[in-house]
Amino acid sequence: MQITELDTPALILDRKKLLANIERAKACCRKLGVTWRPHLKTHKCIEIARLQMETPEGPATVSTLKEAEYFARNGVKDLIYAVGIAPHKLGRVEEINRLYGADLKIILDSVEAAEAVSRWAREHGARIRALIEIDCDGHRSGLVPGDPEILRVAAALRDGAELAGVLTHAGGSYNVKTAEELGRAAAHEAEAIAGVAEDLRAHGFKVGIVSAGSTPTLCAAEAAPGVTEYRSGVGTIFDLFMHGVGVCEIGDIAESVLVSVIGRQERKGWVITDGGWLAMSRDRGTASQSVDWGYGAVCDAEGNLLPDLWVVTANQEHGIIARRDGGPIDQRDFPLDRKLRILPNHACPTAAAFDRFHVADGTEQVAVWRRINNWEW
């Protein structure tokens, strides 16, 4: 069937762009001599994960324990849950490992957490593998390279709790303004995490995994000595924000929301669609970049950009399309039910509004892939 026959709004995934983006990430990892541990949080879909991972058993990264359970149930064993552990979740971690024979690893960044994990492992006779989270650019969680607390955290992992490695995420790279800055962020991320690993080893700790990565830094890194793996996620799909960061072309964006024209306001030059902010998400990340795309870039049903237009504003189930220059739209071009495809600011929250991807070659639907959402199972 043709995707234009779908009810709208519907989430479309361009198969060829997806495959090309995956190939590109793999090539970047080959160049760096590292393993790719794709972050699956953007799509939460086993079919896409299998196209990304080196083997059906992983490695891979997840952002929730529901993702971990879902991917483990589908055969993925080598997983990192890359959000700092809350100790009450350890029972779930252990359950996933036991039920599915998985090796789901956790991350932590304090002696308090390491002691809680060690205590839990001892009390439950369990083995839990943990990575120490490092903050390479001050943007979120983790210990700063050189902080003596890192050694204390490593030492506090005992009994069933084991040090599996170290991990960082150069989230600051999302806000760089130039290719030079991005190159520096990528080099700094790799040097920072490799340095922490070396320091731990110099103090007698065994450090297996040295994990770095974000989509921008994987795209920009020239070398990553001492790093064993990269964990990029959104770059499998790409979006307008990543285009603004300078790491993809608009033509690389594999995800779009198919919408229908449901009305017009001729006096205002508006075309109104059924793709509102619930479908596009409230993400307005491009508002802080050099080109603001509103709630999304407008393409025709074939996926060709209509560069004069943007989704200027949105309500829950209404997207309002206008010309970027404020001029009139030729209303005859937009009859009721005309299909358009809207490229998202941010692939992750847009995809999270949907329960399936309609996979397309051109406008032909070639598969429907389910995804998961939420936290409870």
| Contact status: 347 vs a second copy (CB under 8 A) | no
**Nearest distance from residue 332's CB to a second copy, in Å?**
11
Q: How far apart are CA 7 and CA 145, in angstroms?
A: 51
User: SS3 letters for 5-35?
Assistant: HCCCCEEEEEHHHHHHHHHHHHHHHHHHCCE
Name the one range near a second copy by CB under 8 A: 159-167, 180-188, 194-202, 273-281: 273-281
Asked whether position 203 contacts a second copy by CB under 8 A, the answer is no
Residues in CB range of 44: below 8 A, 6 or more apart: 67, 70, 351, 352, 371, 372, 373
For 265, the token pair is 């306001």
Nearest to 213 by CA among 242, 197, 235: 235
The minimum distance between CB 140 and a second copy, in angstroms, equals 6
Binding mask 232-261 for a second copy (x = CB under 8 A): ----------------------------xx
Closer residue to a second copy in complex, CB, 57/317: 317
Bridge partners of residue 313, in order along the sequence: 320
Among 145, 160, 165, 171, binds a second copy (CB under 8 A): 171
CA dist 85 and 93 (Å) reads 10
The interface with a second copy within residues 74-133 (CB under 8 A) comprises 83-89, 92, 108-110, 112-113, 116
Distance CA 312, CA 325 (A): 11
Instruction: Give least dist CB 86 to a second copy, A.
Output: 4
Structure tokens at 145: 């390279």
- Footprint of a second copy on 172-201 (CB under 8 A): none
The CB-of-108 to a second copy minimum distance in angstroms stands at 8
Strand pairing category for 255-265 and 229-230: unpaired
Answer yes or no whether residue 64 interacts with a second copy by CB under 8 A: yes
Per DSSP, the three-state class of 133 is strand
CB contact at 8 A, 172 and 224:
no
**Residues between 280 and 339 that touch a second copy (CB under 8 A):** 281-284, 315-318, 320, 335-337
Q: Which is nearer to a second copy, 228 or 345 (CB)?
A: 345
CB of residue 30 to a second copy, shortest distance in Å: 27
Concatenating the DSSP letter of every residue in 202-240 gives HTT----EEEE--HHHHHH-S--TT--EE---GGGT--H
Helix axes 149-156, 179-202, angle to 10 degrees: 50
According to CB under 8 A, which one of 146, 263, 307, 328 is a site residue for a second copy?
Answer: 263
Is residue 141 within the footprint of a second copy (CB under 8 A)?
A: yes
Structure tokens at 49: 């994960």
One of 158, 264, 323, 324 touching a second copy (CB under 8 A): 264
Q: Which of 71, 238, 354, 357 contacts a second copy by CB under 8 A?
A: 354
- Of 73, 119, 158, 356, the one binding a second copy (CB under 8 A) is 356
Name which position in 249, 325, 330, 376 contacts a second copy (CB under 8 A): 376
DSSP letter for each residue of 166-185: EEE--GGGGG--SHHHHHHH
Contact 183, 246 (CB under 8 A): no
Count of positions on this chain that bind a second copy (CB under 8 A): 61
Which CB sits closer to a second copy, 49 or 352? Answer: 352
Select from 51, 151, 305, 353 the one that contacts a second copy (CB under 8 A): 353
Strands (DSSP E) along 71-113, which ranges? Answer: 78-81, 103-108
Of 94, 239, 255, 274, which lies in the binding site for a second copy, with binding defined by CB under 8 A?
Answer: 274
Kindly list the residues in this chain that would bind a second copy in the complex (CB under 8 A).
7-10, 41, 63-65, 83-89, 92, 108-110, 112-113, 116, 135, 140-141, 171, 260-265, 272, 274, 277-279, 281-284, 315-318, 320, 335-337, 346, 348-349, 352-356, 373-376
